[in-house]
Copies of this chain bind each other. A is one copy, B any other.
Amino acid sequence: MHEGRLTRGQLQAWALNRYYYQSIIPIKDSIILSRGPDPAFRRAWRKRVIDHDGDASHDGAFSNAASSSNPNNNEGGIRRWLKLAEATGLNPDDVRAGKGILPATRFAVNEYLNIVRSRTLLEAVASSLTEMFSRDLITLRMEKLRQHYPWLSGGLDYFEARLTQAPEDAEFAVNYVYHNAKTRAEQELAIQALRDKCDILWAQLDALHFAYVQPGWPPPGAFRIEQVKA
């Protein structure tokens, strides 16, 4: 991606599959919210749900409202990701319906829900800490996307918003883990949760590579790159 070697079809496969991940993030955060021990924790955490789901004024059909011209406008991360998918040339309704996403994407993403449901709250919070590293990556990614895929430039609002959201979220989460992982055993659990989250992200990329790069074998029912447009 950062070397400009992806076709439009490969970027579509990425945007489509990553949408499924984006769409479950507020569900994941709602589960954590439901397990929050006190109002202060829940007040801090609910920001994440709002960041992704947006506010009521953006409900209903996908629209090309004047949202992008107003930086304070909260259309939400899911809507912003749909705009990115649309910029790759996908039909946003198909993306929203999850049509053609890889089963491996679903399995990896659903494991994230398993983790935040079944482990301790400390581990559920720690699993979000991949965000500690996202600002630098997103900065680089936006630069590279604009450079190599200029036709995608109109769809980068998602990343723009995450530049400020992710570091705020990560700061709260790392403080929570710092104060609540007191024993060595608890610290090990927190580290393992973060490792497992990395596996979840990594497995999604491996599945994309397998299906759309090398050997390039999408499983039955999965999105197929149109050879004509590629």
Contacts and interface: CB of A to CB of B under 8 A. Distances in A.
Interface residues of A, number: 27
Contact of A206 (B108, B111, B207): B207
A207 B114 contact: no
A222 to B, nearest CB: 9
A199 interface: yes
Given A107-B111, A108-B104, A110-B107, A210 B206 contact: yes
A175 to B, nearest CB: 27
A183 interface: no
A202 B107 contact: no
A89 interface: no
A106 interface: yes
Contact of A203 (B107, B195, B198, B215): B107
Given A209-B215, A215-B214, A203 B110 contact: no
A178 interface: no
Interface string A171-198: 0000000000000000000000001101
A103 interface: yes
A62 interface: no
A230 B221 CA distance: 35
Interface in A206-230: 206-207, 209-211, 214-215, 217, 219-221
Given A104-B107, A214-B215, 16 more contacts: A103-B108, A106-B111, A107-B107, A107-B110, A107-B200, A107-B203, A110-B110, A110-B111, A202-B219, A202-B220, A206-B207, A206-B211, A207-B210, A209-B210, A209-B215, A215-B215
